[in-house]
Chain A
């Protein structure tokens, strides 16, 4: 079906859409990774976003239930150059368009995504609306205006109602808590590699409830980074810091930073992809990281926190990507520390080590 993307600066891109036909409104963001389209749509951190995939051919290996990061599609939509309808991979259960239709997603295709990407790079991330069929630009503009005026709702209650992992992992060397503000399947798998008992808490669990579990450490997961509900979580975390080791990941990193008193700020254009180098001054070895954030920690405000040290910057734009406070036993990584293979990502190895040292 003919469809169109309208950006809040008035620029339009015409293409065709597959899936849900209603208006899809959200922040238009760039994802530069080549594979992982299904994973990105089902990642709760992308709730309400319109994701532009810069790689022009999407869907070539199809879709399968096992690639879901959570039980549903969270992204408002996906914008691509070319949708591949005849997939080829032994794991594929259906084509990507079929998957979209089945799961209530929306893909806008036939778009000059390169031009869109360059436009966003120059203008910064913008709100946009996708409309299928014959919706006028005027109506779309009106819908965008209305969306901008309304107080943004929180996706956290929805996320809590569809947890990725209903069965908590049993026992192990340590007892760890995870505050789920958008836990993904792959992050959960990574956590399991730590060989510890995992207890998952909903975003609105109270600090007292969490403390009552006598945890060895607590991890705040990734999630939607601009969600208004994160304030509550930051309050909770603030109460936990100092009593147990805390590690924030992705949006969880922003939460921990705020709990420590730092400010966060919106970036002109986010880091969304698999090729972000993180570098610690004074060290020769850095990390190539997976990132998905358009909000970052304000470095000045973080440096003001005396007991906190910035331990990793983006090598190219100097964004804060990692911090630590040994005395408060609080850590944050802005990237997503998942890795292939049986060994937990170094971030978790370090976290475990710091727990061990204290016990």
Chain B
């Protein structure tokens, strides 16, 4: 059936900022959707508040709205654009929920807009717990015993009748947030209250627990002619009880028999038909009792999901692209799969490798959070590894997540030594058992410890419920480890004696050279040499969807140790782009955006691009982003292997964040040309001493600072500089282990932590400048011309990590004289460092004096934001200058200062980590960002707040509690709120200060002193906004409680005075006038026609 002709214009909903449970997989799917729809000749309108995405690039859709993803703003867009249809199935749960609420508000009907991909009825059937259960029972598919509750009483009744343990799942919540496993009545009551609160529809499912069962997932697609294909099966290594987004997953399923597999496929087809998806894909999650094969269906997602992104990358079947084509009426047999070029989408992929997905967690960022995994997702990113067996894929996966490990232990970084494991005492055994029985992010390592301590597989299975097959595979890895160790050297420089066949088997089991070196008491380089001597080289095999049955046209590659290499190197000029690996706090989608632009730029310059990355969620790992894609871990061993095969003219390390920057030195040592800014310049920027010399030479100042390797050195330095000081390790991203320190005791603790993170690199100690304005500047240079990309003024004062701050472009309080000073300083430094490509500088301004805080000679996370704001693709230009082009020839020689305002706001994962305080500091905590864009500051700011999920009130009650030094500053803010008709509530101290100026204040008792206190009011929905600045480094218990309630009840809040100021101004705007919507393309038209910005595009 040809595509539908009754539809002309389609709105695509994005998924908004990166949050836990919704990451860049929706940039991958949205970008594919935009491309697929344009290919079919539709006019596309894209809505997404996340500027760091490829999908919001102005060329992807005909009209790109960087606007909040809520009913109000999307309704306006619909009203303005008058589309025929909306495509909500590629924007995650956000997109799906939004479509559902647009329907509920009658917007779709009013403007005659059809929901494509999944009808509103299908969405309801999959998402509404009761409808889903009924539908499944109707077609004879088993579901766990359950009931739906809207009140705690109902929930208790249902729960007690089913019996413990129980699983609770709030309706319409992404990533399983608010989900819980409860074992008794008390826990049930607590979890019910919380779940009902956070569910947008106030509904919660109380369900029979199937903890410990196998979790099996399938990806299924169906077209309007009722053709159905099953893309792949996936089996979770962690049994049920751990959210699938947190679980290690293997594809295809490893422990299903043929009849079982057939039964699952049969059920999937039945389910997708019953749900009524008739032009799209779905993800079906099952639980299977490992003792008797009984199957329950747990959940169906009638949309593209994280799992479908994984399934797509794991099989070479572009699910998002195909789902989009099906949504507009094409059938599976009509859509060609471009990976094979020979088969259509009416084909079930089959693989001849094993895929392993492993998650990246950031518990280290939230030390107060309990380090356990459960049904509420906590992972911020993931990596996918491919091998010819499970062991190889597992070990590659473990080194892909970049937690400093090089495989399953045996890399010198194990927390329990081999000696201790040889004769384990009872305490050690108990510790291991605890780590096995309660799921956590380190459990896989504890399986190894358990095996090494002599614990039988059966016992490990009993404790962890991990399938014996997986445990047996790990046992084989441990056996191999022991076999290698037998050839241990006495001296570290002795030749490697490992026999060739054992070396080959070790590599086939996924051991890295680094692990082998550790086991042999040798060096990585020596193992590599030994390998080369014995001609044991990595070969590359294909991801081709068909297990080699067809000669695929556009496959991608993974390494393994087999007899024949199938890589498709060419003699053409080519460049290797190193990607950013798994998402994490501090290194996210922004860097993937830059890597994609590098690939696009290379294409424009007629040079082949070779992408290396292991993140299955991204656009960079899409089959059509680069000329060749290697799905590999980003370690020096794996990269050198690829470089040996591809022989590129150079490697780009500037774009993947800190991951490739950290490899720059090793690459240079190996004689690999690095494109752009030299490794030496990178070293100047990272090396405090050399950097200080450079600043002195250029006559620039920085906060007084020093470096230290030991606590004593640090103590001495801090005393000399004077407290407060900022301590941090060098060579890290996202302010890892960074802290403002006010005294010596605290200093000691942080030095210990920083040393762990920093390794052999020194610890940096800076004078902390209180109450300064912080500025981020991105500069592009070609070695002779240097142009400022944008000067971003932080809204929060200095001391809060730049990744967490809200920022505005253009700057809004800085004088022109100071701006010129900033421009001059930035270009001077760029020139001195001979920047070819991008550079980011952070400054602090205090009393009209400019301090350089740091310089990063690479693309920063603000690059996509600035590019969107000024309409210039900076990363693309940077790639071109790295290839030798000049900015003058590229037409970008002048800074673009837009005649409108763009504001970047950060989004935080606090709701995932209960017990964690929400205050901001020098350690980055945000997972994602949004952009608010409008003609003035307050409108842009309010949009950024709404987009970030702050549901700002137009009227109601505000609770104020600020530290003493903020009491003056808060007066004006409160006065304004009061004038706008808000009722003011405060604790006694703050209230006293406010009352003196004649503001009406209701005084609330301190938490311990009486009720109802502020917590009670929050619970009852009587507080609409909270302004609370932390009293000190160690906050008072009251404050922490207040702030954790803010998160629990999703009440808008601000923890800084500058933030409060901007928020209140924004509310004023919100009350006075309604917010307009305007596509990016129209904003860009306002940029002066003759400016470099236009020509550069």
Interfacial residues, chain A to chain B (CB-CB below 8 A) = 30, 32-36, 38-39, 54-57, 60-61, 64, 67, 81-82, 84, 86-91, 112-115, 117-118, 121, 269, 273-275, 277, 279, 284-286, 288, 315-316, 339-341
With known contacts A54-B352, A55-B547, A118-B548, A275–B469 Cβ distance under 8 A: no
Number of interface residues of B (CB under 8 A): 57
Query: For the complex, is B331 an interface residue (Cβ under 8 Å from A)?
Result: yes
Check if A316 sits within 8 Å of B562, measured CB to CB: no
Which residues from A are CB-within-8-Å of B346? 277, 279, 286, 288, 315
Check if B548 sits within 8 Å of A121, measured CB to CB: yes
Could you say which of B291, B344, B354, B547 contacts A277, with CB atoms under 8 Å apart? B344
Which residues from B are CB-within-8-Å of A82? 388-389
Which residues from B are CB-within-8-Å of A118? 548, 564, 566
Task: Give, as a whole number of angstroms, the nearest-CB distance from B352 to chain A.
Answer: 4
With known contacts A30-B549, A61-B257, A117-B547, A54–B350 Cβ distance under 8 A: yes
Task: Give, as a whole number of angstroms, the nearest-CB distance from B933 to chain A.
Answer: 44
Query: For the complex, is B229 an interface residue (Cβ under 8 Å from A)?
Result: yes
Task: Give, as a whole number of angstroms, the nearest-CB distance from A125 to chain B.
Answer: 12
Show 5 residue pairs from A and B whose CB-CB distance is below 8 angstroms, ordered by the A residue. Answer: A57-B354, A88-B467, A118-B548, A284-B225, A284-B331
Q: Which residue of B lies closest to A92 (CB)?
A: B257
Check if B226 sits within 8 Å of A90, measured CB to CB: no
Check if B547 sits within 8 Å of A54, measured CB to CB: yes
Considering only residues 471-517 of chain B, those with a C-beta below 8 Å from chain A are 472
With known contacts A56-B388, A284-B225, A61–B292 Cβ distance under 8 A: no
Check if A60 sits within 8 Å of B254, measured CB to CB: yes
Q: CA separation between A36 and B350, bound complex, in Å?
A: 14
Considering only residues 916-972 of chain B, those with a C-beta below 8 Å from chain A are none
Query: For the complex, is B628 an interface residue (Cβ under 8 Å from A)?
Result: no
With known contacts A56-B352, A269-B549, A288-B229, A340–B347 Cβ distance under 8 A: no
Task: Give, as a whole number of angstroms, the nearest-CB distance from A64 to chain B.
Answer: 8
Q: CA separation between A316 and B348, bound complex, in Å?
A: 13
Which residues from B are CB-within-8-Å of A117? 352, 547-549
Q: Which of B265, B291, B352 has the most chain A CB within a 10 Å cutoff?
A: B352
Q: Which residue of B lies closest to A81 (CB)?
A: B388
Query: For the complex, is B17 an interface residue (Cβ under 8 Å from A)?
Result: no
Which residues from A are CB-within-8-Å of B265? 340
Task: Give, as a whole number of angstroms, the nearest-CB distance from A97 to chain B.
Answer: 14
Check if B266 sits within 8 Å of A339, measured CB to CB: yes
Check if B333 sits within 8 Å of A89, measured CB to CB: no
Check if A275 sits within 8 Å of B257, measured CB to CB: no
Which residues from A are CB-within-8-Å of B467? 88
Q: Number of residue pairs across A and B with beta carbons under 8 Å?
A: 147
Check if B227 sits within 8 Å of A55, measured CB to CB: no
Check if B350 sits within 8 Å of A33, measured CB to CB: yes
Q: CA separation between A38 and B389, bound complex, in Å?
A: 20
Could you say which of B258, B292, B389, B548 contacts A81, with CB atoms under 8 Å apart? B389
Q: A32-B547, A56-B352 are in contact. List 10 more A-B contacts (CB 8 A).
A: A35-B256, A56-B354, A86-B469, A91-B257, A91-B293, A115-B564, A121-B551, A288-B348, A315-B344, A315-B346
Task: Give, as a whole number of angstroms, the nearest-CB distance from A275 to chain B.
Answer: 4
With known contacts A285-B225, A288-B229, A60–B1 Cβ distance under 8 A: no
Q: Which residue of B lies closest to A62 (CB)?
A: B257
Interface mask (B350-362 → A, CB under 8 Å = 1, otherwise 0): 1111100000000
Q: CA separation between A64 and B331, bound complex, in Å?
A: 40
Which residues from B are CB-within-8-Å of A32? 350, 352, 546-547, 549
Q: Which 3 A-B pairs have the closest CB atoms?
A: A284-B225, A88-B469, A340-B266
Task: Give, as a whole number of angstroms, the nearest-CB distance from A3 to chain B.
Answer: 16
Which residues from B are CB-within-8-Å of A340? 259, 262-263, 265-266
Q: Which residue of B lies closest to A276 (CB)?
A: B347
Check if A279 sits within 8 Å of B333, measured CB to CB: yes
Task: Give, as a whole number of angstroms, the nearest-CB distance from A44 to chain B.
Answer: 17
Check if B344 sits within 8 Å of A316, measured CB to CB: yes
Which residues from B are CB-within-8-Å of A57? 254, 354, 389-390
Q: CA separation between A43 and B711, bound complex, in Å?
A: 72
Q: Which residue of B lies closest to A340 (CB)?
A: B266
Check if B350 sits within 8 Å of A89, measured CB to CB: no
Q: CA separation between A279 and B342, bound complex, in Å?
A: 16
Interface mask (B700-713 → A, CB under 8 Å = 1, otherwise 0): 00000000000000
Q: CA separation between A275 and B231, bound complex, in Å?
A: 10
Considering only residues 398-437 of chain B, those with a C-beta below 8 Å from chain A are none
Query: For the complex, is B170 an interface residue (Cβ under 8 Å from A)?
Result: no
Q: CA separation between A288 and B348, bound complex, in Å?
A: 8
Task: Give, as a whole number of angstroms, the nearest-CB distance from A143 to chain B.
Answer: 24
Could you say which of B227, B349, B562, B564 contacts A275, with CB atoms under 8 Å apart? B349
Which residues from A are CB-within-8-Å of B351? 34, 55
Would you call the interface of chain A mostly helix, strand, loop, or mixed?
Answer: loop
Q: Which of A60, A81, A115 has the most chain B CB within a 10 Å cutoff?
A: A60
Q: Which residue of A lies closest to B343 (CB)?
A: A316
Which residues from B are CB-within-8-Å of A114? 352, 388, 541, 548, 562, 564, 566
Q: Which residue of A lies closest to B223 (CB)?
A: A284
Q: CA separation between A101 and B883, bound complex, in Å?
A: 62
Check if A56 sits within 8 Å of B227, measured CB to CB: no
Task: Give, as a whole number of angstroms, the nearest-CB distance from B19 to chain A.
Answer: 34
Q: CA separation between A251 and B258, bound complex, in Å?
A: 22
Check if A90 sits within 8 Å of B293, measured CB to CB: yes
Which residues from B are CB-within-8-Å of A269? 549
Which residues from A are CB-within-8-Å of B343? 316
Check if A112 sits within 8 Å of B389, measured CB to CB: no
Query: For the complex, is B534 an interface residue (Cβ under 8 Å from A)?
Result: no
Which residues from A are CB-within-8-Å of B562? 112, 114-115
Check if A86 sits within 8 Å of B472, measured CB to CB: yes
Q: Which residue of A lies closest to B266 (CB)?
A: A340
Check if B227 sits within 8 Å of A61, measured CB to CB: no
Could you say which of B293, B333, B541, B566 contacts A315, with CB atoms under 8 Å apart? B333
Task: Give, as a whole number of angstroms, the nearest-CB distance from B289 to chain A.
Answer: 8
Q: Which residue of A lies closest to B342 (CB)?
A: A316
Task: Give, as a whole number of angstroms, the nearest-CB distance from B20 to chain A.
Answer: 32
Q: CA separation between A316 and B344, bound complex, in Å?
A: 7
Query: For the complex, is B563 an interface residue (Cβ under 8 Å from A)?
Result: yes
Check if B347 sits within 8 Å of A87, measured CB to CB: no
Task: Give, as a whole number of angstroms, the nearest-CB distance from A126 to chain B.
Answer: 15
Query: For the complex, is B261 an interface residue (Cβ under 8 Å from A)?
Result: yes
Which residues from B are CB-within-8-Å of A286? 227, 332-333, 346
Q: CA separation between A329 and B548, bound complex, in Å?
A: 39
Query: For the complex, is B252 an interface residue (Cβ under 8 Å from A)?
Result: yes
Query: For the complex, is B255 an interface residue (Cβ under 8 Å from A)?
Result: yes
Could you say which of B224, B350, B388, B469 contacts A87, with CB atoms under 8 Å apart? B469
Task: Give, as a whole number of angstroms, the nearest-CB distance from A110 to chain B.
Answer: 10
Which residues from B are CB-within-8-Å of A30? 547-549
Interface mask (B526-544 → A, CB under 8 Å = 1, otherwise 0): 0000000000000001000
Check if A112 sits within 8 Å of B564, measured CB to CB: yes
Check if B354 sits within 8 Å of A54, measured CB to CB: no
Q: Which residue of A lies closest to B472 (CB)?
A: A86
Q: CA separation between A112 and B254, bound complex, in Å?
A: 20
Considering only residues 780-811 of chain B, those with a C-beta below 8 Å from chain A are none
Check if B258 sits within 8 Å of A39, measured CB to CB: yes
Which residues from A are CB-within-8-Å of B521? none
Check if B255 sits within 8 Å of A60, measured CB to CB: yes
Which residues from A are CB-within-8-Å of B549? 30, 32, 54, 117, 121, 269, 273
Which residues from A are CB-within-8-Å of B226? 285
Query: For the complex, is B1006 an interface residue (Cβ under 8 Å from A)?
Result: no
Q: Which residue of A lies closest to B505 (CB)?
A: A110
Q: CA separation between A88 and B352, bound complex, in Å?
A: 20
Q: CA separation between A90 and B541, bound complex, in Å?
A: 34
Considering only residues 687-724 of chain B, those with a C-beta below 8 Å from chain A are none
Query: For the complex, is B468 an interface residue (Cβ under 8 Å from A)?
Result: yes
Interface mask (B448-485 → A, CB under 8 Å = 1, otherwise 0): 00000000000000000001110010000000000000
Q: CA separation between A275 and B229, bound complex, in Å?
A: 9
Interface mask (B180-200 → A, CB under 8 Å = 1, otherwise 0): 000000000000000000000
Q: CA separation between A94 and B989, bound complex, in Å?
A: 75
